[in-house]
Every structure is written in C-alpha cells, then in structure tokens.
A and B are shown apart, each in its own frame.
Chain A
Amino acid sequence: NAGVTQTPKFRILKIGQSMTLQCTQDMNHNYMYWYRQDPGMGLKLIYYSVGAGITDKGEVPNGYNVSRSTTEDFPLRLELAAPSQTSVYFCASRLTGTSSYNEQFFGPGTRLTVL
C-alpha cells in the first residue's frame, strides 16, 4: 500500500491564482481530512469527509473548497490564492467504524507559498 499520497510536494502561486491539492489513499478509509500548518504553529482542520459525497467544514474553511466523489480521493481547491494561505497542507485518512482507537494516517504534505 502507498498509504496517503499528496501532490504536488511544493508549489508557488501568485495572488489570485487557483490550484487543486491532490490527496489519494489506498487503504479504503472512509474518513479523510485536510489540515494546514502555518510556520511554527500547530495543525488546523480545514475540511473533512466521512465518506464519498459527504464533506463538512473544520476550523478554518474560508478560501477553500473540497469534493469527495470517490473513497480514494479528496482534493482541496484554492480558488483565489492569498498570502495568508501560505502554509504546509497535510491530508490524512482514518479507518471507518465506531472505534475511537483508529488512528489517522498522514500524507507527506504540500508546501504552498503565495506571493
């Protein structure tokens, strides 16, 4: 299994540009999450999904959109990039079920700079 994969690894955007951060997992996990980590700070939840077709906002959703058309993929869309969106973005997934013991598995991250 490749686990959770993210593309691209790095990206520089100009203010106002758009882009999609890709996230794919091959573990058949129903739960998927997008986080951002600003320099020197902790992880903040942007959006999450509990299954294909179901998404919901986290703590910091403004400026982002998500979709979940398949179990495997959970892309994050930035429509009008702003310098405040300069951050490292992590995708994570978690096994479905009611066990609270199931851990989240993280992707390698995408480092985004908006200039």
Chain B
Amino acid sequence: KNEVEQSPQNLTAQEGEFITINCSYSVGISALHWLQQHPGGGIVSLFMLSSGKKKHGRLIATINIQEKHSSLHITASHPRDSAVYICAVNGFTSGTYKYIFGTGTRLKVLA
C-alpha cells in the first residue's frame, strides 16, 4: 500500500463543474504540497500547506493533519485545468527532507 494515496486516479469533467481531488497519507508529516503538471510539461507548484485552507483564484486546498487528509478543489473548471495533479508530503527520513509522492490524478475538462 502506498504511503500517499490519491483519488480518483482519473477524472473527466464538463467545463464549469466543481472538482475535488483527494490525498490521504499514512505517515507523519508537517506539510503537504500540491503540484500541477500539464501534458508534456513541467511541474508547477500550486499550494504548500500545513494546516487549514488556502485559496488562489479558482483553486482551494484544505488539509486535516489529524485525519491525514487533504483535498484540492477547482471551482468553475475550465479545459485549461486539464493536467495531472500531484500530492506530495514532506517527510523527514534518514536525516533529510524528502517528498513522498502520490500517484497523481489525471484530470480532463471537456468544453
């Protein structure tokens, strides 16, 4: 079982829909990072959070440290949101900080 699980793995939505991507983890962490990767593209940082909620434009991220769960919401989805969304938890192992990545959620938004 992966230490970081994302759901769903694949998601197709119609333009304008509200989208939720979930990330659950089984290790102790103090911060979680949401990343976006467009097809054939680089990796872009969306949010880094350790508690509560953050909002940027149409994107909202929440985290519940006690429940070991984070969600990424996209309001009024648009075809340009089509990408892979990756959850990464910041773990401290072997004396250094390393990410443990989720397997990603592939989102396709149809016009």
Contacts and interface: CB of A to CB of B under 8 A. Distances in A.
A42 B102 contact: yes
A13 B104 CA distance: 29
B70 to A, nearest CB: 14
A100 B97 contact: yes
Contacts of B104: 42
A48 B96 CA distance: 10
A50 B97 CA distance: 9
A74 interface: no
A88 B2 CA distance: 22
Interface string B44-66: 11001010000000000000000
Interface of chain B, main secondary structure: strand
B34 to A, nearest CB: 10
B83 to A, nearest CB: 14
User: Of residues A90, A94, A101, A104, which shows the largest number of chain B Cβ atoms within 10 Å of its Cβ?
Assistant: A104
Given A42-B102, A42-B104, A101 B42 contact: no
User: Of residues B42, B45, B94, which shows the largest number of chain A Cβ atoms within 10 Å of its Cβ?
Assistant: B42
Contacts, number: 56
B50 A101 contact: yes
A41 B94 CA distance: 25
Contacts of A45: 98-99
Given A90-B43, A108-B42, A103 B96 contact: no
Interface of B: 29-31, 33, 35, 42-45, 48, 50, 86, 88, 90, 92, 94-99, 101-104
Name the 3 nearest CB pairs between A and B, nearest first: A106-B43, A100-B30, A108-B42
17 contacts: A42-B86, A45-B98, A45-B99, A90-B43, A94-B97, A100-B30, A100-B92, A101-B31, A101-B50, A101-B90, A103-B33, A103-B48, A103-B90, A104-B88, A106-B44, A109-B42, A109-B43
